[in-house]
Chains A and B, each alone.
Chain A
Amino acid sequence: QITLKESGPTLVQPTQTLTLTCTFSGFSLDTSGVGVGWIRQPPGKALEWLALIYWDDNKHYSPSLKSRLTITKDTSKNQVVLAMTNMDPVDTATYFCAHTLTAGQLGYWGQGTLVTVSS
């Protein structure tokens, strides 16, 4: 059974760096073809893809946010970490992590974590 869970601060001040951790079980990130991605959703708005890391440490980022994002993995801990710098109130959203395979489908999602950016 594949499960994922996001953790991190619920409140971040403007200009700070947000660090979120995705802890997963039921699969290994050193299995060929497997990846973990991050997606966010501002309140009442659509899904927005942020970043993805594959089993081979190949990384992809949203072009519009690339300069602010860093995604890393710790295979021994079954964790993927996303860092987003220079947070702004417009970054207020629910942040999800999800399991992906090489066809690109996000087959399993975490429950999401709401991050509010406010002073």
Chain B
Amino acid sequence: ETGVTQTPRHLVMGMTNKKSLKCEQHLGHNAMYWYKQSAKKPLELMFVYNFKEQTENNSVPSRFSPECPNSSHLFLHLHTLQPEDSALYLCASTQEGMGSGANVLTFGAGSRLTVL
């Protein structure tokens, strides 16, 4: 496989469930991201990992818990979510350089989450 792969593509869960989203990149990139995409809103950056170290946590509620076991895999663990957490969750990767603005992100197709 090539590019960025996300599973599952669709997930429906109750507020008391625990589930995980998975992201895998086959591009040899050193940075991976989780974004939340809600209808008619800008992409919201949630977490950034660079060389497996978390470098960004944008005040995300603790019911979202990221895990990056290696530079190719990224997980988002979900527990006790709220209906307003229903959204498309996008994973992305890039090769971060030194002081370059031109870090093109490669996105996965996303995991569509519905919280009942």
Check if A and B associate.
no
A interface residues (Cβ-Cβ under 8 A, vs B): none
Chain B interface (Cβ within 8 Å of chain A)? none
